[in-house]
Amino acid sequence: MVELEYYLILSGILFSIGVLGVLVRRNAIVVFMCVEIMLNAVNISLIAFDRYNNQHDGQIFSFMVMCVAAAEVSVGLAIVISMYRNKPTINLDEFNLMKW
Amino acid sequence: MELFFFIPIALLSVLLAFGVVFNKSPIGSAVSLIGMMLCLAGVFVIQSAHFLAILQVLIYAGAIMVLFMFVIMLLNLKTAEDTVWKAREHNTLLSVLTGFLVLGLVYKLVEIATDANFGPGMPVAENFGTTEMVGAKLFTDYVLPFEVASILLLVAMIGALVLAKTKTD
Amino acid sequence: MIDTVTQFLSDNLVLIVGAVKAAIIAVALLSSVPLLVWLERRLMGRFQVRLGPNRVGPFGLAQPFADAVKLLFKESIVQGSADKFLFFLAPAVVVFTAIVTFSAIPFGASFTLFGQEIGPHVANINVGLLFVFAISSMGIYGIVLAGLASNNKYSLMGGLRSSAQMISYELTLGLAALGVIIVSGSLNLVEIVEDQAVVPNIILQPLAFILFFTAGVAETNRAPFDLPEAEQELVAGFHTEYTGMKFAMFFMGEYINMITMSAMVTVLFLGGWNAYFFEFLVPPVIGPIIVFAAKVFLLLCVFIWLRSTFPRIRYDRLMTFGWKVMLPLAVLNLMVAGFFKVL
């Protein structure tokens, strides 16, 4: 029997790694992947609490997270492609037109 | 017995998550991420959420990551100069601060999780995590979010088409 | 000593039986690949009014084994520009996913052996159908990674084409299978077969059967949908750079996928191991497995027949066909199935 704490610690560590990736990487696609890590980490703790309380609401939430992730990735990657068309790079530091 | 399976899978998933962040090529990151998602599907199986585990493989590893791979192939990023590891190495202070921030985050999360003292959970029902139970919940209590999610996906699909379409006229 | 051994055996009986079944299925699948290659080459020969391989062994039966030996002894070339790890990973992924997919497919009625009830499937998963889709969707990565790792324009084109094709046709495959789920009311493949004891789903869902089989042909990258490896335009597409045993592994994956797809069609639409009118001919224990194998064999022959009949379709037509014909028809079929279920 795995205690709830173990799942929460795993979830926390994965979430932090996702944050690290978002802050540190400059490649737009890799930043996206790190956002996916964070979403996945949240799913673990949602299901862990679900199991702890023996109910199914958290699983619905993680189902919704998957839906939103799918939508987010399809739009996000389309944005990356159109960014690449404007300027043949996906380094986020290069996209500073709106910065003053 | 569950712990015996959980610890290696958890360690592997953390390692692969680091692989996503610190890999030089986007393809390597994507492959690590696929591995991590499969590991998390294993974690879901240990949590006896079988339906969610299958969805994790089917949606995340099978559909979303294929999209990532597809874009990496389409842009052919492997040889592109800007894809090499650029972790703001020109700014040591910022990267050190980021590292401390993330370490602090890990510390705080682990501290909260261990201090909370949850105690043993409720006994898990026999049909926990089956398609029937999740489906029944989804189509009764959560039917409105479900419909909204379908609209969201439709909007995302049209949005992606509009954004990525080449102007041929 | 003996007590502890028997104790251990009886404690872990489920695991041991499962491992034995998994080993048997893996060996059976891998050894059926050369036979399938032989069958395909002989049948193709007959379709094209020539003889096909007939020199090595009786009826040329040893030809694929001779080919396998040749491929094993070939030099394994990895060109310098390739990504080594991914280059080796890709064929392994193809074969792995192809074999694992079969683990959820039941290929016979359960029987009792030594007082144990044994079902002829490795795992009776309650979301078996979804499991099959999940694992077979992982099979795309083998081709995508091969295309990416080879560092070759033709391979990249092949990988790109195949990922687009497989994503498009997977939708149709899933939606066509949903019709069956609605009729049977279960995701468990054993229950789906048992539900067809009287009427096979092909009679209740003829459109879904046609859609599923067509999408299945596209999903296994077989002619007329073999664009990822179109020899004439892409010099064999994603496996241009592969030699020796790694090249053979792609072929093994393709043929095992063919067998798996035929088995899926048999389970979902042709009633699995139910023999219907020929029930009186079927011997007891081993009979259901023979019936199942016969149905799979017929479908494999259809696969080969299709290959020697149809020319390869053009890439844009393939995508148009997938999105504008197959997908709407699958949605329509789903709606009709749901309508009759509610009625």
Q: Tell me: the pLDDT tens digits for B58-117?
A: 888 888 888 888 888 888 765 444 444 454 555 667 777 778 888 888 888 888 877 777
Q: Angle, nearest 10°, between helix axes C2-11 and C13-47?
A: 60
Fold entry, domain B1-80: Four Helix Bundle (Hemerythrin (Met), subunit A) (1.20.120)
pLDDT of residue A90 exceeding 90, the answer is no
pLDDT of residue C113 exceeding 70, the answer is no
Q: What is the pTM of this model?
A: 0.86
Task: Quote the pLDDT of residue C78.
Answer: 75
Secondary structure of chain C in the HEC alphabet? CHHHHHHHHHHCHHHHHHHHHHHHHHHHHHHHHHHHHHHHHHHHHHHCCCCCCCCCCHHHCCHHHHHHHHHHHCCCCCCCCCCHHHHHHHHHHHHHHHHHHHCCCCCCCCEEECCEEECCCCCCCCCHHHHHHHHHHHHHHHHHHHHHHCCCHHHHHHHHHHHHHHHHHHHHHHHHHHHHHHHHCCCCHHHHHHHCCCCCHHHHCHHHHHHHHHHHHHHCCCCCCCHHHCHHHHCCHHHCCCCHHHHHHHHHHHHHHHHHHHHHHHHHCCCCCCCHHHHHHCCCCCHHHHHHHHHHHHHHHHHHHHHHHCCCCCHHHHHHHHHHHHHHHHHHHHHHHHHHHHC
Task: Quote the pLDDT of residue B124.
Answer: 74
ipTM (interface pTM): 0.88
A touches C (3+ CB pairs < 8 Å)? no
Residue C180: both structure tokens together: 């069956």
Task: Quote the pLDDT of residue B155.
Answer: 92
Closest Cβ opposite residue A64 in set B49, B112, B145: B145
Interface residue of B34, B45, B57, B150 to substitute, partner C, most C CBs within 10 Å: B57
C160:B66 CB<8 A: no
- C196: number of Cβ within 10 Å: 25
Closest Cβ opposite residue B128 in set A29, A51, A67: A51
User: pLDDT grade, residue B15 (50/70/90)?
Assistant: very high
Structure-model confidence comparison of residues A75 and C154, the more confident one: A75
C148:B61 CB<8 A: no
Closest Cβ opposite residue A13 in set B6, B106, B166: B106
User: Chain C contacts of B31, Cβ < 8 Å?
Assistant: 86, 89, 145
Domains of chain A, by residue range, sit at 26-89
Name which of B126-140, C2-16, C89-103, C283-297 the model is least confident about. C2-16
Task: Quote the pLDDT of residue B82.
Answer: 46
Percentage of chain A beyond pLDDT 70 is 97
Q: Tell me: the pLDDT tens digits for C245-268?
A: 778 888 888 888 889 889 888 888
Q: Tell me: the pLDDT tens digits for C125-153?
A: 778 888 888 888 888 888 888 888 777 77
Name which of A44-58, B11-25, C222-236 the model is least confident about. C222-236
Fold entry, domain A26-89: Helix Hairpins (1.10.287)
Q: Please give the average per-residue pLDDT across C164-173, as a whole number.
A: 84
Domains of chain B, by residue range, sit at 1-80, 89-118, 127-169
